[in-house]
Structure 1
């Protein structure tokens, strides 16, 4: 069809000579397939009008060595219709076709051509009078797993805003196919910019789809969300996205189809343009953050009994004031260091991690409840060790015997604590389902070292300990278990309370 061929040819000429946008790439491909003679090498671009205007359009002017000239434009149908030679009735009929196609989820471009003699080209492309050639409808089906990706984003408590230059009907149709929640709530860029600051703040909170957007409108949405205290991540690939990418807390550009300007404005670049990578990144960030907190809370909890069991006997002048020597403290530090720095670093995330809402920017690293809980864990372990201390003394235990029982109690408590603090929500039994061989390995090594300290005479003498019978070891094990595993009751109550809260809501 000559008319279709003409539309494709002028759509190609109005695209970038070396395209990066998927739609422009497809136009070059269709041109190659539909034309008997490829004229791209015969013509040179002598003037261009980049994508601009509201709604946007772009125009390229080419000329061959014989002076034959091609002036081609493409853009939003409203933009091309506004500069075309059509009557109002003809424009109305075309707009009906545009609305029909948009409602089916097609992305639509209009194509036009013009003529101009001489080299004094008009300052604006809108000053040309274009012959309207036709419409191009592009179908860009959502990826198969995109519904799952958007579902994960929603489950993670992240609000999704679609900011696009497409038609409202097109955006609604695609959003519905992609499984975006609240896909009917839309507003155009022109309507947005006419709102007061108060109305704008409410709009960006309530609306999901922002259509027919231009750079200033995109920037306004980002700034309004930031002003509301939201942490804003902006994804974009075009030049028009650059101001919003720069203004967002985190600007993310697409590596494959993103322009260099967009990449330069962004903080991160996704190399394969797959949105699911963001979910992986968010999950990794949450896991790292949670593991750092676990490691620090573990350090706080386990250091309190070490400090107090050294200080209290000296301060109160108990019968065995030097219950721990620097040698014992050094060994304990050698145990605790790898536990917090290696074991918790490799800890898998809790299964509810990606169902938690994002932290507000005003949040401190530790809440008072978390810090209090860690201190309480340490104090209760201390009480268990003091109980063992008094138990040994009251039963006529020697200094070496008392030291050994207290030392073993702390070792067992440390092992229990390293498992219990893997999650501050799920039970210790549930935590065993998470694979972390380093945790098992370090604790097996500690138990092996403890066996050597108790039953290998040179090591026993060096650490000023003594061998213990099974009954004494059983007592220290039981006290250590009680000193730490009360925390499982706390976690059970926490889960039960949250479950009842969900039922009530």
Structure 2
């Protein structure tokens, strides 16, 4: 942690504890929804639960106590499963919330510490710097060119300068530091802050549903409407036959239950929440649930260079002094002359007194190592021009007690040349040659300048100082060891990678070439990009992979142009200036270690380890979740069709046994299907071909006609199997109990095999059986055990209206169920051959 050079002691550990006991933690607390009670109330409004309650009531009124008790048990079981799934989702989300808590720096016991923002207490001395979010209301006690963006409170987008003077020293929770640094004493936390008091209105804001969620909800609503219509038709048919209101209601409720696909919304919620939890275990914090469903379709990743492609471990590698036109290595301490030492000194004075940028840390380290007389304690920073301009530069003015000043600036070489006294022809040539040599090596270069100025009426713009260019400092930031593999993984997955950096073209190209980056030899600068029309830019962003000398407006235009080209855009960033582009991207990715709090707030994902390889894992996880959710829903559709038609067709066509199933049979099937779709399929591993496919197009809907057709055909073939066994049993003269038992056995056998076959719509069952998923064995084993109990334990066999089958009957039922599903393996084989 950086040093405390401000003579501020802060609170002691004992004072912190006393303040926490008295005022609590720094957390906004609004009206909390009672999780379990809220879930129970919501479940009571679910169509399936309502149908079960009505059926149980009818059985009770009709004197069928056993059936009523079974349905009551089914209601409890259904509610228990739903509560369990909801609690898993809630736990996953609460862990995510805990992980995404912002951090802040405080001075306690005289030392700078990094803590979670919610651990702040009243009286704490909090350190704030550019890019951080203000964690509590506070009063400034020390500041340096400190400005704050208060738009969250005032709506005003321009940053406001703040000082330690009484009339302008208040800062507020939720606002953002636009420039400079400050130390402030915390005056209010949690709900007592200005934001906390305004934030009560947040209670009424509901989270917007995602496109996928809307598609699924619309599908379920349509099925509910169809169920209601069919319910009325079936009730009328039954009533005309029996003239019994209760009996007709019971039989029509059986069909209505079979139509309700209530497992689908449960599966969606479970998959998204547990997907986010699995990503968190990989070191990826998901801030927005919708990101989980978008991840798998990312087509372009725009990545920064420094700290993402490179290590972000800067070392001062080379020096070029303009006055001597000499290049030197700062490691050769004994060989350095006064001009070279002076260049290092000026570059250090142009840096923050307490450095946090890797280049500035390297300059301070070099100064400590190479300069014999350290005069830093004698000087104070009296004025600062924060990093700004296009290309950017920054200026610091230091002064000692005698009034001696050091005015030092550093920044992009183009900016330093523009701001300095004109160079002669020879100086320009030497400078260009040095830049070319450094860039070929992949060095990152900064121009360094110095100025003299008398008086306290400093210019409004830093460029107005009479600067003299001192030379160039060059840094080396090596590429990460794994970055070449990461790029190849993206390329294999059909994802385009673009470098968007503030560095110059030559340095970026050199590093890009080293790591095997595709398209390293062609680039465009931020200024060139801003001159393009929207139409031309849309064409250029498709062709160019390297974007250099970029600034916020240019980055934002790149993202928006890619989006107009129907790309799904992921963007990595860590600085304040990345905020707009991170927010605009479909998937904003902030770095957990070096990222500013502003970048983390704007992003939808945070990589805790600043490792781009985690994005490969995130994309794989996104694709896996989306594919497994599709498998689950296709399974639900396929197995619902035979249940619906097996109940409806014998009744509608007036077959010998018109009411082959009652509500108890349908609810038993529902209880088997729920865990299968939302537990087995959620736990399925990534299929090996998923990361070699191109991302799915943004225009694709979740329910494509091809996939729906596959599920419908699977369902119809299983129906053919159930109804064939029905007719076979009737033709053999079997009674209703045996017919029912055989038909039910066909459905259970088909359900078990469908679970296995639909684990992949490409690979064979012999491949998928090797997938590691212990829940498959558990759930299928449990299903087989329950079915055996129903067939061979006399009281239960009788309760369900079954009859014990002989070997021939049970073999025909199981074989029919097997054949009605296994045919799809032939379709998969043809797919693989193609």
| DSSP 3-state at the match of 1:41 | helix
In structure 2, the residue matched to 1:503 is: none
325-334 or 257-266, larger mean C-alpha shift: 257-266
In structure 2, the residue matched to 1:391 is: 728
Confirm or deny: 8 A CA contact 1:416 1:485 kept in the other structure: yes
Superposition deviation, residue 14 in structure 1:
1.4
In structure 2, the residue matched to 1:368 is: 705
In structure 2, the residue matched to 1:87 is: 424
User: How far apart, CA to CA, are the structure 1 residues paired with 2:383 and 2:573?
Assistant: 27
In structure 2, the residue matched to 1:215 is: 552
In structure 1, the residue matched to 2:397 is: 61
Of 51, 58, 76, 2:387 maps to 51
Superposition deviation, residue 483 in structure 1:
0.7
Q: 1:257 to 1:20 in 2, by over 3 A?
A: farther
Superposition deviation, residue 441 in structure 1:
0.5
In structure 2, the residue matched to 1:42 is: 378
In structure 1, the residue matched to 2:597 is: 260
1:159 aligned onto 2:496:
yes
User: How far apart, CA to CA, are the structure 1 residues paired with 2:425 and 2:460?
Assistant: 26
Confirm or deny: 8 A CA contact 1:61 1:69 kept in the other structure: yes
Of 471, 481, 497, 1:144 maps to 481
In structure 2, the residue matched to 1:321 is: 658
Superposition deviation, residue 258 in structure 1:
2.2
Matched ranges for 1:234-253 at <5 A: 234-253=571-590
In structure 2, the residue matched to 1:18 is: 354
Of 517, 527, 543, 1:180 maps to 517
Q: What per-residue deviation string (whole Å, max 9, x for no partner) do you get for residues 378-418 of structure 1?
A: 11100011111111221222222111111111101000001
391-400 or 402-411, larger mean C-alpha shift: 391-400
User: How far apart, CA to CA, are the structure 2 residues paired with 1:411 and 1:78?
Assistant: 74
Confirm or deny: 8 A CA contact 1:218 1:244 kept in the other structure: yes
| DSSP 3-state at the match of 1:160 | strand
In structure 1, the residue matched to 2:443 is: 106
Superposition deviation, residue 116 in structure 1:
0.9
1:493 aligned onto 2:826:
no
1:416 aligned onto 2:753:
yes
Superposition deviation, residue 478 in structure 1:
1.9
In structure 2, the residue matched to 1:378 is: 715
RMSD across aligned positions (CA): 1.7
Superposition deviation, residue 90 in structure 1:
0.3
User: How far apart, CA to CA, are the structure 2 residues paired with 1:169 and 1:144?
Assistant: 21
Confirm or deny: 8 A CA contact 1:165 1:212 kept in the other structure: yes
Structure of greater relative contact order (alpha carbons < 8 Å, 6+ residues apart): 2
- The two structures have a TM-score, normalised by structure 1, of 0.94
| DSSP 3-state at the match of 1:365 | coil
Superposition deviation, residue 119 in structure 1:
0.9
Matched ranges for 1:302-321 at <5 A: 302-321=639-658
Q: What per-residue deviation string (whole Å, max 9, x for no partner) do you get for residues 445-477 of structure 1?
A: 111112222222222222222222333222222
User: How far apart, CA to CA, are the structure 2 residues paired with 1:452 and 1:59?
Assistant: 82
Of 590, 611, 614, 1:277 maps to 614
Q: How many residues get paired?
A: 497
| DSSP 3-state at the match of 1:46 | strand
User: How far apart, CA to CA, are the structure 2 residues paired with 1:428 and 1:38?
Assistant: 73
Q: 1:441 to 1:261 in 2, by over 3 A?
A: closer
Superposition deviation, residue 271 in structure 1:
2.3
Superposition deviation, residue 37 in structure 1:
4.2
User: How far apart, CA to CA, are the structure 1 residues paired with 2:661 and 2:570?
Assistant: 52
User: How far apart, CA to CA, are the structure 1 residues paired with 2:547 and 2:436?
Assistant: 17
Superposition deviation, residue 29 in structure 1:
2.3
329-338 or 254-263, larger mean C-alpha shift: 254-263
User: How far apart, CA to CA, are the structure 2 residues paired with 1:62 and 1:341?
Assistant: 64
Superposition deviation, residue 79 in structure 1:
1.8
Q: 1:273 to 1:320 in 2, by over 3 A?
A: same
User: How far apart, CA to CA, are the structure 2 residues paired with 1:266 and 1:13?
Assistant: 33
85-94 or 166-175, larger mean C-alpha shift: 85-94
In structure 1, the residue matched to 2:806 is: 469
In structure 2, the residue matched to 1:480 is: 817
Superposition deviation, residue 185 in structure 1:
2.2
In structure 1, the residue matched to 2:693 is: 356
Unpaired runs of at least 5, structure 2? 1-335
Dislocated runs of 4+, deviation >4 Å: none
In structure 1, the residue matched to 2:185 is: none
Of 31, 38, 51, 2:367 maps to 31
User: How far apart, CA to CA, are the structure 1 residues paired with 2:437 and 2:591?
Assistant: 30
| DSSP 3-state at the match of 1:26 | helix
Q: What per-residue deviation string (whole Å, max 9, x for no partner) do you get for residues 184-240 of structure 1?
A: 121222222222332211100110001122222222211211222222222112233
In structure 1, the residue matched to 2:408 is: 72
- The two structures have a TM-score, normalised by structure 2, of 0.58
Unpaired runs of at least 5, structure 1? 498-505
Confirm or deny: 8 A CA contact 1:22 1:257 kept in the other structure: no
User: How far apart, CA to CA, are the structure 1 residues paired with 2:533 and 2:412?
Assistant: 27
297-306 or 355-364, larger mean C-alpha shift: 355-364
| DSSP 3-state at the match of 1:137 | strand
Of 539, 557, 570, 1:233 maps to 570
Q: What per-residue deviation string (whole Å, max 9, x for no partner) do you get for residues 229-281 of structure 1?
A: 22222211223323322332232222222233333433333222111122222
Superposition deviation, residue 432 in structure 1:
1.3
Confirm or deny: 8 A CA contact 1:81 1:91 kept in the other structure: no
Confirm or deny: 8 A CA contact 1:114 1:129 kept in the other structure: yes
Confirm or deny: 8 A CA contact 1:20 1:258 kept in the other structure: no
1:9 aligned onto 2:345:
yes
In structure 2, the residue matched to 1:290 is: 627
Q: What per-residue deviation string (whole Å, max 9, x for no partner) do you get for residues 117-140 of structure 1?
A: 111111222222223222222111
User: How far apart, CA to CA, are the structure 2 residues paired with 1:444 and 1:253?
Assistant: 44
| DSSP 3-state at the match of 1:31 | helix
1:198 aligned onto 2:558:
no
Confirm or deny: 8 A CA contact 1:21 1:257 kept in the other structure: no
